[in-house]
Structure 1
Amino acid sequence: MATAALIASGCVAAQAAPAAEPAAPGTFTLDILDINDFHGRIAQDRDSAGAAILAGAVDTLRAANPNTLFVSAGDNIGASTFASASQKDAPTIEALGAGGLDVSTVGNHEFDRGFKDLKGRVIQSYAKASGQDGADFALGANVYDKATGEPALKEYAIREVNGVNVGFIGTVTADVPSLVTPTGIKDLTFGNELEAVNRVAKQLSDGDTTNDEASVIVVLSHNGSENTSCGTIAAEKTTYGELVRGASEQVDAIVSGHTHQPYNCEIAGPTGTERPVVQAHQYGTTLGKISLEVDEASGEVASSSTELLPLAIKDDADEWVYTPNKSVTQIVDTAITESEKVGNQKIGQISADILRGGKEPGSDRGVESTLGNTVADIHLWATSNEDFAGAKAQIAFMNAGGLRADLLYGKDGTVSYKAAADVQPFANTLKTFDLTGAQIREALEQQWQPNGSERSKLQLGISDGLSYTYVEKAPRGEHIKDITFNGEPLDEKATFHVVANAFLAAGGDNFAAFAEGTNHADSGQIDLDATVNYFKSHDVVAPAPLGRAMIAGTDWAKVELSTTEAEAGEDIKVTVTGLEEGAQITASSFGGELEITDIPAADAQGTTSFTLPIAEGTEAGDYELLISLVQRESISTIFTVVATEPSASPTPSESASPTASPSPTQTPDASGESTGSATPSASATQTDNGNQNDRDDLAQTGFSASWIGIAAGAIVLLGILLLLVRRFGNKNSH
């Protein structure tokens, strides 16, 4: 897919040992081969060619044209794969040095372990591997010592080719302070690239041989465009757009990096003359090639052309087009062997793929991802479990740019130490600190990046318990709407103990709200260790769900009920329209006691339906039906359960009423209150089981004693009749 994309953007696949085009009389062809954002991809993996094939391609192209230089636009190391990262990227530095890398600008990731490590170990390692000035591995004309204002890195490097001096000016995005842990670069400042380029270009073109001169000048900028359209790049209002349009006319070509995009353009400079502007994708998938026709006498560039060469390609015989460099192959093999000693250890298991954001995982850092939320959950667990000695964290945040690989289920869900390390390769310490609810809102707002940033939005992974709704297109500072924590509205006056990696905690990626928190403390854990311990403490790790960040509003669908009133034991048919085809909704009701998850996906018309059952015994009253779609605010619909209509009274059984018994009478007693007795009749009241009421007491009367015998006889007769009625009544009522 990557190769197809590159071809679609104008890439031309290189052939083995291509013959150099003949130069015009009095000129020669200077080929500049370039990479950017290699990120320690030393081993061949899918579209990443690996260091050996990369070096082999350079060998092949140098053989075709000896007037060739091999350069990089930065981020050679850092965010690397495990074979390199497990050894502090020493294998990558050695492989690039042995593979003939002539010059490189510094990228933001060269500062991952701090400026001291870059100036010492990194530069010295390159010098040893390449046999050249180690400082040429990390040019940085816009990197200054904070105390003196003087350049802190070498500003340019010069190579002589066919008697002509070729100067390379290196710069890095001024956003570095927001991209690396600030403590590692606390003594540095990062200035404007355009100013630095024009200052150095003027020096190299002023005719003063005491301060170096260069006839051909190439800028190596670790900055780039998010676009691949040359017209868009030429007009964009970013610091990079200013650089490509405003760089001095003495600059003959611009090699870019940082944004991991493939493009090869001709863009006009300040006087209208067009010059090459290229970026060679990422990870060693592609080799950029700028060909300059240079006048042998004056050193002036007469013409230019560009192309992007896919590297991990094979010929019709299924052989690599570029033969791997043997020396670099040995370096890579040794590095892999060393890393595999620990990398193959199983640390845990997952139940499904856990992925970064975008249609192609990792392609979009501006959307919610299962991996971002999962890593946030891991960091929260690491700083809140019973073995953690510090103050327990309540909320965790994770930056999308810190996630460099996905966790894939594979055959059985096994997660190796190497796989975990590939996800978070920066060895960041976890920091805990306090934020108010208002600062949490501010941090969530800062997902929408400042104007001019390389990416317009950087989505935070957030831990379980925190959720919010947002409006994508809203004025700055007004994107975030409702925020909840553990199901309740977030108290913006309260203080919460949170955790993030050291990069975020210090305000990285322009999340200044985190740096403004209080009581920052080192948890004593790095992100990789936290991940390993989490997996060891959980039998199986499932992907954290999407939907902690939800688009505000409930107009994404329409809900219709077959009736809004129903009795217990009845069903209500629910129809949902206005969905996208294939959308999968869920429903819940009765305070969450009823969950409906097997609703059919929306059809081509965006419609689906299901049955809402009302259980027997449900109390009468109003209830809420919630219709949910991942990453959408739930739609609430009210329906009423009405009381069940009482059934008709049972028909009493037929029996003859005693005629000899007197009618009920009421006679005042001594207190003046009336007392009554009821004699049985055909309409005697029935109990629920059909038995007639036979427990009436005799009335008290004022008759004389002479009537006692008669009354007693009547009572006996009445009792016999009642027994007969009860017996035959029971038979008739069953």
Structure 2
Amino acid sequence: MTPPTRTRPGSRVVAAVLGLGLATSALTALVPGTAHAAPVDITLLDINDYHGRIQSDGGTGSGDATTYSTVELATTVQGIRAERGAGNVLFLSAGDNIGASLFNSAHTEDEPTIEVLNALGLATTAVGNHEFDKGIDWLRTNVVAGTPTYTKADFPLLGANVYAKGTTTPAPGIQEYSTHSVAGVDVCVIGAVTQETASLVSPAGIASLDFGDPVVAVNRVAGQLETAGTCDVTVASYHEGAGAGTPDGSTLEQEIAAGGAFAEIVTGTDPAVDVIFTGHTHKEYAWTAPKPGGGTRPVIQTGSYGAKLGRVDLSYDTETDAVTVSTAALTAVGTAENLADPVVARVDAITSAAVAAANVVGDVAKGTVTDDITTAFSGGSYVDGEYTQPDLTKRDDRASESTLGNLVADALRDTPITDTPGLPKPDLGIVNPGGLRAELFHRGDRAASPQNADGVVTFEEANAVLPFANNISYVTLTGAQLEQVLEQQWQTTATGSRPSRPFLHLGLSDNVRVVAKPDTSATSPVGDNVDAVWIDGAPLDPARQYVVSTFSFLASGGDNFRAFQQGTNRDTGKVDRDLWIDGYLANGQAKSPSYDRRQVFATGLPATLTAGTSVSADLSRLNLTSLGSPANTSVTAFAVQGTSYRELGSFPVDASGAAAVDLTAPADLAGQWGLSLVAEPSRTIVGAPLPRLTSRVKATVPKPRYGQRTTLSVQVDAPLTATGKVTVTSGGRTLRSARLKAGAAKVTLRARDLRPGARNLRVTYGGDELIAADRTKLRVDVRRASAQVAVRTAPKRVTARRTRAVVVTRVAASGASAAGRVVVRVAGRTYASKVRNGRAVVKLREFRRPGRYRVRVRYAGSDLVRPAATTATIKVTRRGARR
């Protein structure tokens, strides 16, 4: 492959010489054979979307998916500086250094991240959209200028396309470019941020700004710098990248063919730009791309979180003004920590202090979860019927539904705000996927925090899910406006173009059901994709008003959900973090993931069924890709009319989560019916709401014995696989419960749950959200516990007419305490004794004659224990006889 080059034939040298009136001498100096200075070697290092990954180890706490420590990142950067020469390395960033950060950084508004980047000698950075999370005024006051309580960034923030509102004048505090002398070579870095920023952050914080076309802005500045002869090497740092609509691993050609902002960056950036660094979409690539007009240049993005560095090694020829790139690659962060390096030691001190301060607040337990509750992942597989993805960096698939997004939407709906007068009760909750920045993992980390046992959710973990501190808004929308919100999942900007993420899947509370068309790609049509919506089991009423609980970011039209702006917005004054953590997670109830889809993609579903209606419907993406989600195996079809239903058949779900439903409605259906499809085992409902299905409980039990455990076998028959639990009671007293698995359960009663005799048991199935409860009676005859009798006689030598023997009887019963009497018969006499603590003692009279005597011992039994008997032998000798 020909190395990327940029050749501009000595323009700056010739111009300088001609300006002195020495054109002939200058031309002579450039002829072959003249002494030529050696090219200067420079290394450019870049990160993007670092997002405050301040951590002291490579664990995955707080949902973080990185596998390195901050100190390891510093060691890697310093190692490259040592290799190439510190004066020959320029360290850059393509934006989103702060915002959506780990708790270690976020709890002090990302100051530790700024301190670390200062210590690492970050030369300059493009602004990312997350730099504006708290608004331009906060950014200028704290990061750009510094305050008495906040460490100022030692590096400029670049955004050539960030303008004062209504102008093309650069916004105060944000530079268009920066210049850096590297080994005597002038390197210019031009920064730009995605034009979508206005839809990605709270509009109130950027009301004074406009965001222009990033390529137009970069080209404008590059042209000015080229004309002025300012730069030897020109770098464009775009906080914009290859689209989310294309799969990871796509080629450069495929990404360009997809069109959009990235294609314009690659093909439209001015040829004067020698290197392009990108960000925002968290993809990994290091490509050599053709320049307009000839030549090539690197185009790089490092993924995210500083897990990799973008590295470009280049040479600049001071005589010919030629730039030659020898290396353009991604470098993984190493595992070493070189604390002998003073820069690394400084980063370690900052990191340790930040982690210690965060732990004081973050280690407090706030709630519990029964299983992992996560964002949607990509690239995983279903192992033993459950979705798994060992690579936790594959999280945050924003085009897919997730258990975490739906749980947060449930929290918004189920935690009404009552301390603000005049607020209505919300009808539903809606969550944007980009607001979910970490997972709720079931597995704890006691090494990191003594409170963080399995299932425990700490303040740090909960806060990491929703780190942006949005206010909760109650937005009143008509049904028609709410449908437009759902339509805007198929993304367009305010000007009608398709953004880099063409589809954003909203999280919806569990009382919402949506059926939509399956195409969510960048080429899908926009505006007519939502086919049907149900809320609380009723079809969406276009004229009715619905109260939506959501984040202020969405309520103000963020993420291109502009239809929210048509409604009436009430700011509740409650911060999302407080509602989420203190109002929902800390309410004493363990949270579990819900694996049913709330939005299903389908074609061919009829609005109604009548007798003889033929149905040929295709369902897709039935399976969730949150960790632990089950792979659906079947879809059962029902005709529904009010509380009545008819089962119409079952259809398989393939490995991709798709199912084809082909059926004909029964000829005896009277009137109009709805079609409801239910995928199992996720219990995803497609189409019309399903009434409660009837169930029938069956139970069997072997003949039980008191003192032994007894196991009942319970089966709940229903049109769908019943979930939930069954409970066994006797005389109004609850004995034991068990959860159903595949519609069946084994309920084990304790040894003393049932006393002997005829007993009536009641086995109750409590029902679930789809299947009605049922119960059955079971009459059992409980037998008494078995007894074991052991006898010992004393003394060993019994003499006739002289020694009185003692019979010691021990009575044991399985699972019960023996009580009652023991009867001993020997030599024609009968003796009796009470059993105390399982032991009875009988003292016999003297035997008159020597001989061998048979001792018969019988335990008489009790209400709980059966009788039992045994025998023993006593040998009696004459007085004075020898044994």
Query: Could you state the TM-score of these two structures normalised by the residue count of structure 2?
Result: 0.60
- For residue 601 of structure 1, report the CA deviation from its aligned partner: 9.1
Q: CA 1:189 to 1:364, structure 2 compared with 1: closer, same or farther past 3 Å? A: same
Change (3 A) 1:603 1:253: closer
Q: How many residues get paired?
A: 571
Letter in 2 for 1:243: I
**Counterpart for residue 259 of structure 1:** 281
SS of the residue aligned with 1:633?
A: strand
Matched, 1:550 2:572: no
Residue number in structure 2 paired with 1:522? 571
1:45 has 2:58 as partner: yes
Deviation at 1:198, TM superposition (A): 1.1
User: Does the C-alpha gap of structure 1 residues 500 and 621 become closer, same or farther in structure 2, counting only changes over 3 Å?
Assistant: closer
Change over 3 Å in CA distance of 1:419–1:592 after alignment to 2? farther
What pairs up with 1:234-245 in 2 under 5 angstroms? 234-245=256-267
Corresponding residue for residue 33 of structure 1: 45
The one-character-per-residue Cα deviations of 1:228-252 (angstroms, maximum 9, x if unpaired) are 4222234441122112211111100
User: 670, 678, 686: which one pairs with 1:633?
Assistant: 686
- Whole-angstrom CA distance in 2 between matches of 1:605 and 1:94: 46
Give 1 or 2 for the bigger CA radius of gyration: 1
CA deviation after TM superposition for structure 1 residue 552, in Å: 2.8
Alignment CA distance shift 1:286-1:388 (3 Å)? farther
Displacement of 1:385 after TM fit?
5.8
| Residue identity matched to 1:528 | R
What is the TM-score with the length of structure 1 in the denominator? Answer: 0.71
Report deviation, 1:476. Answer: 1.8
1:168·1:217 contact (CA, 8 Å) conserved in 2? yes
**1:224–1:258 Cα contact (<8 Å) kept:** yes
The answer as to 2:440 corresponding to 1:407 is yes
Q: Which residue of 1 aligns with 2:477?
A: 435
Query: One-letter code of the match for 2:602?
Result: A
Q: Secondary structure at the match of 1:197?
A: helix
Q: How does 1:159-198 map to 2 (within 5 A)?
A: 159-198=180-219
The residue type equivalent to 1:508 in the other structure is G
In 2, the alpha carbon distance for the partners of 1:282 and 1:260 equals: 5
SS of structure 2 residue aligned to 1:218: strand
Q: How far is the alpha carbon of 1:391 from its aligned partner? A: 2.0
Letter in 2 for 1:247: T
Alpha-carbon distance in structure 1 between the residues aligned to 2:228 and 2:319: 16
**1:457 aligned residue (480, 503, 513):** 503
Alignment of 1:674-689 (within 5 A): none
Q: CA deviation at 1:104?
A: 0.6
- Partners of 2:515 and 2:687 within 8 A in 1: no
- 1:505 and 2:505 correspond: no
1:44-443 alignment, distance < 5 Å: 44-46=57-59, 47-66=66-85, 67-125=88-146, 134=154, 136-152=155-171, 153-207=174-228, 213-226=230-243, 227=246, 228-313=250-335, 325-359=344-378, 360=389, 362-383=395-416, 390-411=423-444, 412-443=454-485
Q: 2:538 aligns with which of 469, 488, 509?
A: 488
3-state SS of 1:278 partner: strand
Unaligned runs of 5+ in 2: 1-35, 60-65, 379-388, 445-453, 607-621, 624-629, 660-669, 695-883
CA, structure 1 residues 394+311, in 2 after alignment: closer, same or farther (shift >3 Å)?
A: same
Q: CA deviation at 1:464?
A: 2.4
SS of structure 2 residue aligned to 1:39: coil
Q: Name the CA shift for 1:472/1:104 in 2 (closer, same or farther; >3 Å).
A: same
**Cα separation, partners in 2 of 1:537 and 1:500, compared to 1, 3 Å:** same
How far did 1:124 drift? 3.3
Query: Which SS does the other structure have where 2:169 is aligned?
Result: coil
Instruction: Give the whole-Å Cα distance in 1 for the aligned partners of 2:125 and 2:148.
Output: 12
Letter in 1 for 2:576: D
Deviation at 1:623, TM superposition (A): 11
Q: Does the C-alpha gap of structure 1 residues 490 and 130 become closer, same or farther in structure 2, counting only changes over 3 Å?
A: closer
Aligned partners of 2:315, 2:322: CA distance in 1, in Å? 8
Encode CA deviations 1:633-662: one digit per residue, 9 max, x unaligned: 269999xx9xxxxxxxxxxxxxxxxxxxxx
Q: Contact 2:143–2:150 at 8 Å: present in 1 too?
A: no
Aligned partner of residue 515 in structure 1, secondary structure? helix
Cα 1:406/1:267, change in 2 over 3 Å: same
Note the 1:4-23 alignment, pairs <5 A: none
Deviates more, 1:579-588 or 1:257-266: 579-588
The one-letter code of the counterpart of 2:456 is: T
Change (3 A) 1:203 1:395: same
* Cα displacement string for residues 393-421 of structure 1 (whole angstroms, at most 9, x for unaligned residues): 21211000110111111153111100111
Distance 1:123 1:622, change over 3 A: closer
- SS state at 1:500 partner: strand
C-alpha distance in 1, partners of 2:151/2:359?
Answer: 26
Structure 1 residue 466, shift from structure 2 partner: 1.6
Percentage identity across aligned positions? 36
Inter-partner Cα distance in structure 1 for 2:674 and 2:498: 45
Q: C-alpha separation between the residues in 1 aligned to 2:498 and 2:190?
A: 23
Query: Residues 541-567 of structure 1, C-alpha deviation per residue, up to 9 Å, x if partnerless?
Result: 2224432112234789xxxxxxxxxxx
CA distance in 2, matches of 1:28, 1:146: 42
User: How far apart are the structure 1 equivalents of 2:484 and 2:563?
Assistant: 6
Question: In structure 1, which of residues 437, 455, 467 is the aligned counterpart of residue 513 of structure 2?
Answer: 467
CA contact (8 A) 2:518 2:603 kept: no
1:490-526, CA deviations, whole angstroms, 9 ceiling, x for partnerless residues? 10111111121011111111111012212x1211111
> 1:109: how far off?
0.2
**For 2:655 and 2:398, how far apart are their aligned partners in 1?**
30
Q: Which residue in 2 is equivalent to 1:566?
A: none
1:383 deviates by 3.2
Shift of 1:112: 0.4
**Which fold has the larger relative contact order, with Cα–Cα distance below 8 Å and residues 6 or more apart in sequence?**
1
Partner of 2:574: helix, strand, or coil?
Answer: strand
Partners of 2:408 and 2:431 within 8 A in 1: yes
Change (3 A) 1:623 1:224: closer
Tell me which residue corresponds to 2:526.
476
CA pair 542-636 structure 1, distance change in 2 beyond 3 A: closer
**The 10-residue stretch of structure 1 (289-298 or 259-268) with the greater mean CA deviation from structure 2:** 289-298
Contact 2:165 / 2:208 at 8 angstroms: preserved in 1? yes
Secondary structure of the equivalent of 1:93?
A: helix
Paired position in structure 1 for 2:767: none
Residues 482 and 563 in structure 2, CA contact (< 8 A), matched pair in contact too? yes
Q: Deviations over 1:531-588 (max 9, x none)?
A: 11212224212224432112234789xxxxxxxxxxxxxxxxxxxxxx9996334769
3-state secondary structure, aligned to 2:473: strand
Return the offset for 1:284: 1.2
The answer on whether the counterparts of 1:48 and 1:284 sit within 8 Å (CA) in structure 2 is: no
Flag structure 1 segments of 5+ consecutive residues without an equivalent: 1-23, 557-578, 609-619, 642-734
**What letter matches 2:541 in structure 1?**
D
Q: Give the residue type in structure 1 aligned to 2:242.
A: S
CA drift at 1:138:
1.4
- Structure 1 residues 531-610: aligned runs within 5 Å: 531-532=580-581, 533-553=583-603, 583-585=632-634
Q: Tell me which protein shows more strand as a share of its residues.
A: 2
Distance 1:430 1:148, change over 3 A: same
Amino acid at match of 2:235: V
